[in-house]
Amino acid sequence: MVNVVVDGRLDVGAVRSHFPALKQNQVFLDNAGGTQVLSDVIDSIRTHLEETNVQLGASYHVGQKATEKYNDGLKAAAEFMNARVDEIVIGPSTTQLFSNLSQAFALSFPDGAEIICSSIDHEANISSWVRLAKIRKLTLKWWTPSQDPADLRLTADNLRPLLSDKTKLVTCTHTSNILGTIHNIKAIADEVHTVSGAMLCVDGVALAPHREVDVKSLGVDFYSFSWYKVYGPHIAVLYGSQAAQQKVASLGHYFLSPADDLATKLGLAAASYELVASIPSVLAYLGPDRKRTWSAVAAHEQRLQEILLDYLNKRDDVVVYSERSADSKLRVPVISFSVKGKSSREVVEKVDGCSPFGIRWGHFYSKRMVDDLLGLKTDGVIRVSMVHYNTEQEIRDLVSVLDQVLS
């Protein structure tokens, strides 16, 4: 990120200059569904299609250039997560990558094995494991942290009673795409690994746009997120530790060596060349000192969510789900709520009708939680999902619109 962190504080005007979509008369507050794309990412994709749109691995000049750009994209994707290139695979979506992983696990789990799934996750990190358990007749346990919608935090303590010597896989989210609550994945990973051979698979989609991801520090076995949630192209990445990869069968062609890397095992030639080649533009935007950048992002986002949460928490007719604090150590600025006596759809459509604010209603593919734990089967929550290119004035203006609509 060049010249957008000044004296430790985010220069939001400079940030916004990197996102051409923000010039429209639309305030994007549905960012958990997909962020706007960096201009350098857009330029990279166009340039690749204009100049290097050939098959990889050829010996002629343009073929060599295309291969180099693709490999640079893989290196950047790995660097973003503090992983090695042979520990990642690129795919069309997090959902697809988890599905591929589940197929590769199909024969490796012994009879009687147990899978533990978080019930507050996006369906991307649930459906594949439910299907695997059904096909293999494995035991599926649901990890529900609480029946209280105000306290849906996954912890090592509320996981522990579910673990047994038969546990082979635990799946959970780093941050809920509904609640915004940040879970202590390091502590959860340590707890999972008290069981010999047990692995942890984490959905990091809702965290990656807001915080640094370091898979080695977290101690996870598998971790995935989507680049289109992180200012980049519509592809995703899955990390698998060296140890965990030993339990992953190859889905690739018989003549490819399954022991080389995760991409050979799970990639299935699904990584779009031009999109992979654009990933270095995301890292370039974050700058050489990404820790400093992420720290400035977290501080700015805390100010954004303070404005909205201060308003919502004061209203007797509003229910804010799970974390009500604006502390950036506890949550990211993905805030969901409902209004007593009003449907979520009604509120959002009224906001649509009188303002440029793009917010959403629904279950956002966390349907099990929204239906069963929040009790909102009809039209789900109202979700406002902010990122660092949103401004404090935008959120103050949103509060004014909400006040008008809710009155």
DSSP state of 226: E
Report residue 3's pLDDT band, with 50, 70 and 90 as the boundaries. Answer: confident
Mean pLDDT of the region 125-145: 97
DSSP state of 244: H
Q: How far, rounded to the nearest angstrom, does the alpha carbon of residue 384 sit from its chain's CA centroid?
A: 16
Report residue 258's pLDDT band, with 50, 70 and 90 as the boundaries. Answer: low
Q: What is the model's pLDDT at position 128?
A: 97
Q: What is the model's pLDDT at position 2?
A: 60
Q: What is the model's pLDDT at position 16?
A: 98
pTM exceeding the 0.75 threshold for the entire prediction = yes
3-state secondary structure of 207: coil
What confidence tens digit (pLDDT) does each residue in 211-229 have? 999 999 999 999 999 999 9
What confidence tens digit (pLDDT) does each residue in 296-350 have? 999 999 999 999 999 999 999 999 999 999 999 999 999 999 999 999 999 999 9
Residues with Cβ within 8 Å of residue 170, at least 6 apart in sequence: 115, 116, 143, 159, 163, 188, 192, 198, 199, 200, 201
Q: Does residue 259 register a pLDDT over 70?
A: no
Q: Does residue 1 register a pLDDT over 50?
A: no
Q: Does residue 110 register a pLDDT over 50?
A: yes
Q: Does residue 99 register a pLDDT over 50?
A: yes
Q: What is the model's pLDDT at position 332?
A: 98
Q: How far, rounded to the nearest angstrom, does the alpha carbon of residue 276 sit from its chain's CA centroid?
A: 18
Mean pLDDT of the region 231-260: 90
Q: What is the mean pLDDT of the chain?
A: 96
Query: Among 100-114, 240-254, 256-270, which stretch is predicted with the lowest mean pLDDT?
Result: 256-270
**Which candidate, 82, 23, 11, 93, places its Cα nearest to that of 299?**
11
d(CA 323, CA 149): 10
Amino acid at 279: I
Q: Does residue 294 register a pLDDT over 70?
A: yes
Q: Does residue 394 register a pLDDT over 70?
A: yes
**Pick the residue with more confidence: 254 or 306?**
306
Q: What is the model's pLDDT at position 4?
A: 86
Mean pLDDT of the region 386-403: 98
